[in-house]
Amino acid sequence: MTLTKTLFREKCLKQQKKQYKYNKVYKNALINRALKKLLLQYKNKKILFYYPLPIEANIVKTLQYMRKKSEVYIPFMEGKSFKMVPFRLPLEKKKFGILEARNSNRVINNIDIAIVPVVGVDGNFQRVGFGKGMYDRFFEKLKKKPYTVFIQNEYCHTSEYICDDYDVKGDMLLTAYLQMKVSKKRKR
């Protein structure tokens, strides 16, 4: 049977739900430590974070810390995609149970670093997400591609090329026990 993106997503989600229950706090601490160390190398940058769902790696500690060091944004859902808004409190629960900052009239078209949650990664280092395509549509609108760090609470990777051309391609994958940078030579 040929591996498809849908089958791979299901496999990864099942694996994450099963494994992430164990040592969740410890794994989140390891991810936060590694992410903070990475981001401290870049001073005064514009960073897009995500605000985590229960199944995603909880990077809130790093988000709050970097808020004092850089310009920090989080997604604000708009239709089938999102726009970036400055991270500010209070957060409100919106669609899909995601906590969001309030809407802003500020237009932000440029970021230096994007922290993106992933379900899995394919052989071309492209993102397999939850299947809504929001990050794909968002990245398509950006003028300049930011340095993209994929965050995964449980490592789930396939060497096969299962993603579409429009799927977001990462520069780095970060899990509790693994940091992997993409090879510049990788192409389909």
All residues at 6 or more sequence positions from 12 whose CB lies less than 8 Å from its CB, including other chains: 119, 120, 128, 154, 156
What confidence category does residue 12 fall into, taking pLDDT thresholds of 50, 70 and 90? very high
**Whole-angstrom distance, CA of residue 156 vs CA of residue 95:** 26
The pLDDT assigned to 33 comes to: 96
Query: Which pLDDT score is estimated for 96?
Result: 67
- Per-residue pLDDT at 186: 47
Q: What percent of the chain has pLDDT over 90?
A: 52
d(CA 39, CA 47) in angstroms, rounded, equals: 9
Contacts of residue 103, Cβ cutoff 8 Å, sequence gap at least 6: 76, 85
Higher per-residue pLDDT: 94 or 71: 71
Domains of the chain: residue spans and CATH? 5-181 (3.40.50.10420)
Whether the CB-CB separation of 165 and 7 falls below 8 Å is answered with: no
Task: Compute the average pLDDT of residues 168-177.
Answer: 94
Q: Is 59 helix (H, G, I), strand (E, B) or coil?
A: coil
What is the rounded average pLDDT of the residues 61-69? 93
pLDDT band (50, 70, 90) for residue 188: very low
The arithmetic mean of pLDDT across residues 142-150, rounded, is: 93
SS3 label, residue 138: helix
pLDDT value at residue 119: 94
Cα torsion 166, 170, 175, 179 to 10°: value is 150
Residues above pLDDT 70, as percent of the chain: 94
C-alpha 45/C-alpha 48 separation (Å) is: 10
Please write the tens of the pLDDT for every residue from 115-142.
999 999 999 999 999 888 889 989 988 8
Structure tokens at 115: 């922290």
- Mean pLDDT value across residues 28-37: 96
Q: Over 80: is that where the pLDDT of 176 sits?
A: yes
